[in-house]
Structure 1
Amino acid sequence: MDPDETTTQDYVTQVTVNYTGSYENVTSIPDNHSNSSYSEQLLLDFNAEIFHRRLPNTILISVMMILGVIGNFVVLYVYFTRLNRKNVERYFVPFLAVVDFAACVIGPTFSLLENVYAVIFPSNLLCKTMWYTTSLSSGLSISVLSIIAINRYLKLCRPHGRQLTVYHKRMFMAAMFTIVTLILIPMVFFVELQYIDLVYKNEHVLGITCAPHNPRQTLGETIYFGCMFGVISIIIIITAGLYTAVGKVVFERLRKTRKGSVPSSIQPSPRFVRNNKVGNDRKDSVASVLSATNNVLQESKSQLDIRKKSSVNGVLNEDSSILDTRKESAMNGQALQLPRSTNGAYRQYRMNFYIMFLTIFVCNTISFVPSMIYLFLHEHDLYFFFRHDDAVLNIHLTMQRLYVTNHVLNPFIYGYFDITFRKHVIDTFRRVPPSPTTVRQVSSGT
């Protein structure tokens, strides 16, 4: 494993670090340094000690990997076997789950490789591949969340404006995947194995690590990483702004709901309000709900046909889909299931999805920002993770890899906010097949 002398002199930096955490400035490897200092056994012993020091982080990453893989697999299994895939509220859930599943496999695997082969990383190709795929999975996750933010913002804050149709969503997803895939390609050329000169048992040891650091960093590399940080920061800020607007509307509607306002899913049309002068008095709320619902069900046949044609073209939104299903049920003589109270079951259903995606974004930001900061520190300091004592080292490693937490938490966030999804997960583990009644309720969005 001994690199040749010329290559070593090209890569060795001006800092030598020993395993206890102290470091001293040197200009080169001492001339009286014997070849035995670079022996494979000494390097292996040093690597084993580093692995032992990083063991708490290794255990934590392993547990997160197991939870993330199982959780996202359950999400995909339940979605494709038990849930109604035409439910537009869950349109982005499988895409996000696939990205999270990949991230929970790739990210922790790379972290474990860095812990196991801290100073003897085995392959330059493996180094480049892991950095690229890890960055790709995280980049796709952020991009999906930004598209979700745009979609939710238009639906909630601009309900009467232009909306994202299924076609638009597919095009956005395809464009996002292509752009992220291409923009990360230069990273393959900038990331490579790096030699680090360390001191172990009073002997100089030349280790090999995988890091986004190049002592001969070019201007192009500096510009690239700077632009990457800038683009990611802009995406996070814009997405945060959209979700802030969504959050204000969501919590305002929840506040009104607690006061007993009529659910938005069965609000009367403006013409009905003018003709019938529906009162806002809470004493008449039940009568208003029933009257508004009857008015909706009596919409003209031409309007119903327009909505059905729109659904064929993939431009049907959530409200029209739910109303059409309810109208068809009424026409077939089936009982219409009204909310049990004026709080509105369907409104609460939709609010849960808004809050769910808002929570996912908050968790993503909180977990991703520290990882970006540590990437910046590591990119400018190759020895950053070799100069701390055990406790501080594991804290730094955990913060650097905190981005994995977001991919692990998403399935549990689904289960908390999506009651129907949670019920199907429980039924799956109980091996209880979904009843026809449950399927009809899911398809109607209740």
Structure 2
Amino acid sequence: MSSLAPAISVTIDENSTFGALNDTASVSAIREGLTLEEINDAIAKTHIGGAVFVGILMLIGFVGNLHVLLIYSFRTKPSNHRIFILCLGVLDMVTCSIGMPFILVDLRYPLMFYATAVCKILRFVNYFMCASSALILLVIAADRYRMICIPLGKQMSQTVAKVSCGIAISIGFAISWPAPILYGYSAEHTGVGNITGVRCWTEERFKKTKYQAYFNFILMFIVFGTFAVLCVLYSMIGAKIFKHKTFKSTVTDSKSVPLSTTGSSKDSSGTKESPMQSTEDAEEELAMDTSKAFNSVEKSSSYKLKFKSNDLPWRSPGKIFKIGGKYKEYYIDKTSGQKEKKKMSKEDTRTRRITFIMFMITLVFFCSFMPHLSLKIVVFMKKDFLETVSPAGLYLYNTFVWSFFVNNMANPIIYGFCDKIFVRELRSFYGRLPCFSR
């Protein structure tokens, strides 16, 4: 997941002068008679922290995403979340192997980037990777929403998941196409004599136009719009899970009162009663979700009702629901009840675990932008910030301004903590190696 930070940075910094004077605390060392190489090296020294930071993220991300691609490609069963993880893994791997090395070169040669064609391609790659990743996160959220909030509705098939990812990548391409046109050869006056450097930035012909501003406005609109939609979807998912846990706990603690299918029952004294009145509202709402499942109920030889495991992925058997104004109890027969209940509970846990993994991926994706955006806002609000900040402050700025690359190496770590299958296959793989099997 490459970053849209370059786009945001353009909007904020486009009117500022790079020229070694606005970007480094080594200005005092720049004197008449210095060469372009010496000026370039003076500026590059202030980027050492950023280069080390990006380099570490690149190595960890490359190794981690390589493991993700190998394990999820060959050691896991086909599923929607496998498709999503592989798509994000490919995008992260491209960023770690192409996008980040480009940033390292740019940090080393801030005023001597002469490869215009490479600049155009790599700027496009960074925008394309990020836009595609953000849109795939939307597809993931939609899939999780249907699984959790509409469990009895039509779910996203693997074919639909693949097509949706393909559409997201295509839209990412359509969004990013202006990048190789707008970026390229950019002459930057150093402020030292007549020495002029070359940056991989907005091309000369577009510097006095508003095309770059329009491009970045669209990108930021997409970023914040995506963020808003994801917040809404995951809020609804979280509320549904919390409600399910609360209801399940209430039902477990309540006494189970057998009811006939006519809607009422009698206790040992022969008195008619309406059970679980305290949870009537919750049951009535849940009954709406389960009513569709009752159409697929099969009667056993003893006229007891038997559920298929896929009919009620969120419902435990033997519970009481209010249908059409009457209370009814539906349960699995004695021979298969425990197996079905255990299978449903296992599927329920797996669904929530996958949802949690996808939520963490989304959360890290956006949180990784926060330090970058905060620093850029400070620079935007205080124009002379980079000129007045201390040398230590400038080093910190040039380091954490690249925080958005954290999301490109974080996913394998998330899988390592949250995905039992990934951990199991990882241990199995390394357990077969001679150096680890001793």
Per the normalisation by structure 2, the TM-score is: 0.68
Higher mean C-alpha displacement, 179-188 vs 382-391:
382-391
Question: Which residue is 1:284 aligned to?
Answer: none
Aligned letter for 2:137?
L
Aligned CA distance change for structure 1 residues 383 and 141 (closer, same or farther; 3 Å): farther
Establish whether residue 91 from structure 1 lines up as the match of residue 92 from structure 2: no
CA distance in 2, matches of 1:150, 1:271: 39
Residues 339 and 160 of structure 1, relative CA distance in 2, 3 Å threshold: closer
What code does the residue aligned with 1:349 have?
Answer: R
* Partner of residue 49 from structure 2, selected from 52, 56, 79: 56
Query: Secondary structure at 1:163's aligned position in 2?
Result: coil
- How far does the alpha carbon of each residue in 1:178-208 deviate from its partner, in whole angstroms, 9 at most, with x for none? 12112211121111232222256xx564222
Q: 1:22 to 1:44 in 2, by over 3 A?
A: closer
User: 1:194 aligns to what?
Assistant: 186
Q: Distance in 1 between matches of 2:383 and 2:198?
A: 11
Instruction: Say if 1:91 and 1:126 are closer, same or farther in 2 by CA, change over 3 A.
Output: closer
Match for residue 425 of structure 1?
426
Question: Would you say 1:209 and 2:192 are equivalent positions?
Answer: no
Deviation at 1:150, TM superposition (A): 0.9
Aligned position for 1:233: 224
Note the C-alpha offset of 1:170.
2.4
Separation in structure 1 between the aligned mates of residue 45 and residue 27 of structure 2, nearest angstrom: 21
In the other structure, the counterpart of 2:288 is none
Q: Does residue 68 of structure 1 match 2:61?
A: yes
CA distance in 1, matches of 2:340, 2:430: 29
Contact 2:46–2:398 (8 Å) recurs in 1 = no
- Say which SS state the counterpart of residue 400 (structure 2) adopts: helix
Which sits farther off after the overlay, 56-65 or 389-398? 389-398
Amino acid at match of 2:215: Y
Q: What is the DSSP-based 3-state SS (H/G/I as helix, E as strand, rest coil) of the residue aligned with 1:122?
A: coil
Aligned to 1:400: 401
Match of 1:176 in 2: 168
Residue type of the partner of 1:116?
Answer: R
**Whole-angstrom CA distance in 2 between matches of 1:189 and 1:387:** 34
What residue in structure 2 maps to residue 265 of structure 1? none
Give distance in 2, aligned partners of 1:318 and 1:127.
54
Tell me, in whole angstroms, the C-alpha distance in 2 between the residues paired with 1:56 and 1:178: 35
Tell me the CA shift for residue 318 of structure 1: 11
3-state SS in 2 of match to 1:352: helix
- The one-letter code matched in structure 2 to 1:83 is T
CA, structure 1 residues 132+376, in 2 after alignment: closer, same or farther (shift >3 Å)?
Answer: farther
Paired with 1:362 and 1:417, the residues of 2 have a C-alpha distance of: 14
**CA distance in 1: counterparts of 2:262 and 2:117, whole angstroms:** 68
Q: Over aligned residue pairs, what C-alpha RMSD do you find?
A: 4.5
* SS of residue matched to 1:61: helix
Structure 1 length-normalised TM: 0.67
Identify if the C-alpha distance between structure 1 residues 54 and 223 changes in structure 2 by more than 3 Å, giving closer, same or farther: closer
Aligned-pair distance for 1:142? Answer: 0.8
CA distance in structure 1 between the partners assigned to 2:51 and 2:312 by the alignment: 44
Query: Which residue of the partner structure matches residue 324 of structure 2?
Result: none
Q: Does 1:351 align with 2:352?
A: yes
Deviation per CA, 1:138-167: give whole Å up to 9, x if none.
111111111001111122112234432233
Alignment of 1:185 with 2:172, yes or no, is no
Which residue number in structure 2 is paired with residue 250 of structure 1?
241
CA distance in 2, matches of 1:81, 1:23: 54
Question: Do the aligned partners of residues 21 and 89 (structure 1) sit closer, same or farther apart at CA in structure 2, a change above 3 Å counting?
Answer: closer
Per the alignment, do residues 17 and 102 of structure 1 end up closer, same or farther by CA in structure 2, a change over 3 Å counting? closer
Count of residue correspondences: 359
Q: Residue 365 of structure 2 aligns to which amino acid in structure 1?
A: N
Aligned to 2:417: 416
**Partner in structure 1 of residue 368 of structure 2:** 367
Residue aligning to 1:223: 214
CA contact (8 A) 1:89 1:318 kept: no
Does residue 149 (structure 1) correspond to residue 149 (structure 2)? The answer is no
Q: String of CA shifts for 1:102-137, please: whole Å, max 9, x gaps.
A: 122233212201111111113111111111101111
Residue 391 of structure 1: how far off its partner (Å): 2.7
After TM superposition, list the pairs within 5 Å mapping 1:292-303 onto structure 2.
Answer: 299=298
Long gaps (5+) in structure 2 = 1-14, 253-258, 267-274, 277-293, 301-307, 315-335, 434-438
User: In structure 2, how many angstroms separate the alpha carbons of the residues matched to 1:317 and 1:195?
Assistant: 65
Code of the residue aligned with 1:92 in structure 2: it is F
1:136·1:180 contact (CA, 8 Å) conserved in 2?
yes
Partner of 2:7: none
**CA deviation digits over 1:1-20, x for unaligned, max 9?**
xxxxxxxxxxx997865376
Cα 1:221–1:54 change in 2 (3 A) is closer
